[in-house]
Structure 1
Amino acid sequence: MKPGIVNPNAAQVRSLQKERGIVLVTALLILVVLTLLSVSMFRTFGLSERIAGNTREKQRAFHAAQSAMQYAEWWLTQGNGSAGTTCSGLLTADGTTPTTQVCNNAMTAPQTAAVPWQTSSGASLGVAYTPPGMTVAAAGQAGAYAASARFYITPLGADPADSTGNSQLYQISAMSTGGNNVAASVVQSVYSIKTGVVDAGGL
């Protein structure tokens, strides 16, 4: 190259040499952003799995509580409705000689009480019922329940909708847990039992 002649590409070569460091910084920034995205996605997947597990346990607790409530309703229809007695402990509806009873001392807010239900002195309360196919294991093994379902029957008096006065209302509260006591469900129903003679017509 002759002296005094300027290479027109020299400025472009110097510019490219300066920009090589910017490519490295840009690549590092993109790598950091991708790392943050992947970490947040990993946390989201873990959270989704925990939510799914909790939902499953809540559904298991709900179905077991429903089963206990339906058993209590059936038990009332077998001629077991009464004014009730004072209940202060845990009975069982399981086995060949179930000891289910109507309790005339109503529970205080069973839907908000800690589960499993207890008396003020710490004794277990209600009637324990283990639905068919339910496995109870306190250790919380897979597919098992932390405790048996329970129900509590309270008389509410005459049914105002029955003009004959032959119907009695009963409140049934039932609770159950899932694999642990955290996943719990409490259900309630008001059940009407009608007694008396029904004229089926001339025989």
Structure 2
Amino acid sequence: MKKNHEKVDFMRQRGSALIISLVFLLLLTMIGVSSIQDSTLQERMAGNERDRNLAFQAAEAALREGEAFLREQSPTFTASGTGGLLSPDYTGAKPTAANYPWASRSRAGASLAGVNSVPRYVIEWLTTQATGPSDQIEVSVVNSYRITARAVGGSTDAVVLLQATYSR
């Protein structure tokens, strides 16, 4: 009679082991899916950071080109902003505005690898200041300019605007 009782216990154990195994398998699957989603999110964040970094570096390069342009040239600034050279009496949209016409009122920088479009810059003539005492015959004049650079990274979503003030 004892043998019959052991047989019934053995049958109960087989059913519960299957259910526990399925629960563990479900938990492991959920952990795996969660890990894959986390990895995908981190990859997207790294890609976005790379795009932004490319745009930042391109904007920096455009700023340096604007400074070099001012060092090497004596540009003519206009009220219409022709060639990205804005005089103090320019009344259009500012280069920091979302509706500024970058294609027609800016200067193109050097083409860089990995960016979506060529970085561009605008030079605004801010002021002319006299330096030195006013009782001297010769007074040195300093012109101040604001250079605004706009660059796009690897995708059109990564846009960086940088500004620098340059005096000479």
Please tell me the TM-score bracket, short chain as reference.
0.7 to 0.9
Any stretches of 5+ residues in structure 2 without a counterpart? 134-139
Alignment correspondent of 1:182: 157
Equivalent residues, number: 160
TM-score (normalizing by structure 1):
0.66
Contact 2:116–2:152 (Cα < 8 Å) also in 1? yes
Q: Is the 8 A contact 1:103 1:152 kept in 2?
A: no
CA-CA distance at 1:85 after TM superposition? 0.9
Distance of aligned partners of 1:178 and 1:101 in 2 relative to their CA distance in 1, 3 Å threshold: same
Q: Provide the residue aligned with 1:153 in structure 2.
A: 123
Task: Report the Cα offset of residue 168 of structure 1.
Answer: 2.1
- What is the correspondence of 1:118-133 to structure 2 with a 5 Å cutoff? 118=101, 124-131=104-111
Does the aligned pair in 2 maintain the 1:154–1:170 contact within 8 Å? yes
Over the aligned positions, Cα root-mean-square deviation in angstroms equals 2.8
Structure with greater helix percent: 2
Equivalence for 1:113: 98
Moved over 4 A (4+): 9-13, 162-165
Match of 1:74 among 59, 65, 68: 68
Deviation at residue 147 of structure 1 after TM alignment: 1.5
The 3 A distance-change label for structure 1 pair 52 and 67 is same
1:79 to 1:88, Cα distance in 2 relative to 1, 3 A: closer
> What is the rounded CA distance, in whole Å, between the counterparts of 2:87 and 2:41 in structure 1?
43
- Contact 2:107 2:121 (8 Å CA) reproduced: yes
- Residues 69 and 183 of structure 1, relative CA distance in 2, 3 Å threshold: same
The 3-state SS of whatever aligns with 2:85 is coil
- Give the whole-Å Cα distance in 2 for the aligned partners of 1:169 and 1:20: 86
Report matched runs for 1:154-173 at 5 Å.
154-158=124-128, 162-163=131-132, 166-173=141-148
For residues 175 and 64 of structure 1, what CA distance do their matches in structure 2 show?
Answer: 8
Asked if residue 53 in structure 1 is aligned to residue 42 in structure 2, the reply is no
Q: Tell me, in whole angstroms, the C-alpha distance in 2 between the residues paired with 1:26 and 1:17.
A: 15
1:39 matched to 2:33? yes
**AA partner of residue 110 (structure 2):** T
Which runs of 5 or more residues in structure 1 are unaligned? 1-5, 92-99, 136-142, 194-203
Instruction: Kindly indicate whether the alpha-carbon contact (under 8 Å) linking 1:118 and 1:124 is maintained by their aligned counterparts in 2.
Output: yes
Inter-CA distance 168–38: structure 2 relative to 1 (3 Å threshold): same
- Could you tell me the TM-score, scaled by structure 2's length? 0.78
1:180 shift after superposition:
2.5
1:109 CA drift (Å): 6.0
Relative distance call for 1:130 and 1:87 in structure 2 (3 A) is farther
**Alpha-carbon distance in structure 2 between the residues aligned to 1:37 and 1:163:** 72
- Matched position secondary structure for 1:80: coil
1:66: how far off? 0.4
- For residues 147 and 19 of structure 1, the distance between their equivalents in structure 2, rounded to whole angstroms, comes to 68
Q: Distance in 1 between matches of 2:71 and 2:109?
A: 17
Q: Percent identity?
A: 26
